[in-house]
Amino acid sequence: MNTERFRTNVFFIVLLLALGFCIVLFRPFWPSLAWAIVLGILIYPTHQRIARRLKNTTVAAGISTLLTIALIVVPLALMLFAVAAEGNVLIGKARAVVDSGALQQWSPDAKSGVVADALRWVGRYVDVSQVNLQDMARQGLGRAGEFLASNAVGYVRNLAKSFMQISLALVTLFFLLKDGSRLLPAVKAFIPLSEEQTDTVLSRTVETMYATFYGVVLVAMLQGTLGGLAFWMLGLPSPLLWGVVMTLLCIIPLAGAPIVWVPAAIILALQGAYVKAIILALIGWLVVGTVDNITRPFIIGGRTSLHPLAVFFAILGGLLAMGGVGVFLGPVLLSVTLTLLDILRIKITPSPPGPPPSQTPPGSGGGSTPEAPVARVSTPRSPAAQPRTNP
């Protein structure tokens, strides 16, 4: 083994060890870094407009970070506190209902009414004689209360940890916006692809991020808001809590708001509030469902070519593997992987017979063949800032 080869091997060994230690160092902070990158990509078009007006990247990055805090972090924190308060009130009301014996009319001992007819039909196939809804509800609420009490310390600890992660994410976001124009060329220099192929990968990454945010998160927030307003107008308890639950369910593929409003409409009908049940069902079906079936394909359709089944597994898998940030990173990782596979397919595909790339066929009008097989794709802007065109 010659000296140069030995030095090269030692260099790569030391480099791998250094990278391993860096991974260990930054591993506790990867959620903050991931959220900073996601927020940076989403807010970057707005940051560009601010930077063009102020001509100062530091001040523009500070203003953009403050806007993120004011428009995202603070409203989200207030909403979470309000949801927690409504959840405690809802549990207290449910316990009062159970303790008062109001659930007795829903038990299998009922002799008349819709519930009794339904129980007699179910009793043909399943033995429901030993079912006592009141005892089951009391036990369930008791276990829920014990769980919340036993995990109170954990909630406080997680709250402090979440506050630290949010603070680190915001600090990282500031520096990404401030120095992003210098960091991006440095990152691109280490990507082993041609310039055109690198631009394609980065463009599809940004496009997928925008499609996920505008086509999944914002649509889910709109559905949850409409569902919560329907609960509030009909006088149903904890409209904010159920609106947030519907939002979260709408983010998860193949779930959705019907998991909440359909049982609520059924309960209203069983209680005799037929008008409210019909109104809730119509709002859920015609309004909330229309938002999902029309708005989501309109927003996503022109910005990503991912199949809905692939998006389903990407979002759900990212959510399970990485938490909330996986909703964004799951589809992005899938899109980048498919783009790289497409580049690999073009690289290994034999070139068709014809003149060499440096030659120009007669009558072609001049010009040269681009070096990379994938065309350059310009950096996309936010969908909100793009003109709406017909496909």
Structure tokens at 341: 């596979």
pLDDT of residue 351: 60
Cβ atoms of 214 and 388 within 8 Å: the answer is no
Q: Does the model's pTM come out above 0.95?
A: no
> How big, in percent rounded to 5, are the helix, strand and coil portions of the chain?
75, 0, 25
- Res 42 pLDDT > 60: yes
| 350: Cβ contacts below 8 Å, ≥ 6 apart | none
pLDDT (tens digit, 9 = 90+) per residue, 205-219?
888 888 888 878 888
What is the separation of C-alpha 233 from the centre of its chain, rounded to a whole number of angstroms?
A: 28
Name the CA radius of gyration of the chain, rounded. Answer: 28
Query: Residue 68 is encoded by which pair of tokens?
Result: 């993120």
Q: At what angle do helices 152-189 and 30-54 cross, to 10 degrees?
A: 60
Give the range with max mean pLDDT: 13-17, 284-288, 309-313: 13-17
pLDDT single digits (tens) 125-162:
666 555 555 565 556 656 655 555 555 555 556 666 77
CB atoms near residue 361 (< 10 Å): 8
Q: Which two tokens stand for residue 120?
A: 């007699």
Gap between the Cα atoms of 30 and 51, Å rounded: 28
Per-residue confidence at 383, pLDDT binned at 50, 70, 90? very low
pLDDT tens for each residue of 66-122: 999 998 888 888 888 888 777 777 766 666 665 665 555 544 444 555 556 666 676
pLDDT band at residue 374 under the 50/70/90 scheme: very low
Q: What is the DSSP letter of 103?
A: G
The alpha carbon dihedral of 78, 84, 89, 93 has a sign of positive
Question: Distance (Å, rounded) from C-alpha 209 to C-alpha 192?
Answer: 23
Residue with tokens 């800032």: 385
pLDDT of residue 75: 87
- Determine the Cα–Cα distance for residues 354 and 344; give it in Å rounded to an integer: 22
> In angstroms, how far is CA 160 from the centroid of its own chain?
23
pLDDT confidence of residue 106:
47
Q: Write the secondary structure of 281-338 as one string of H (helix), E (strand) and C (coil).
A: HHHHHHHHHHHHHHHHHHHHCCCCCCCHHHHHHHHHHHHHHHHHHHHHHHHHHHHHHH
Task: Map tokens 């209203």 to a residue.
Answer: 268
Residue 62 vs residues 50, 165, 170, 173: alpha-carbon distances, Å = 10, 19, 10, 10
Work out the average pLDDT over 2-21.
88
Q: What is the Cα–Cα distance from 203 to 297, expressed in whole angstroms?
A: 20
Residue 352 DSSP code? P
Q: How confident is the model at residue 168 (pLDDT cuts 50, 70, 90)?
A: very high
Predicted confidence (pLDDT) at residue 265 exceeds the cutoff of 70: yes
Any idea which residue has 């940890």 for tokens?
161
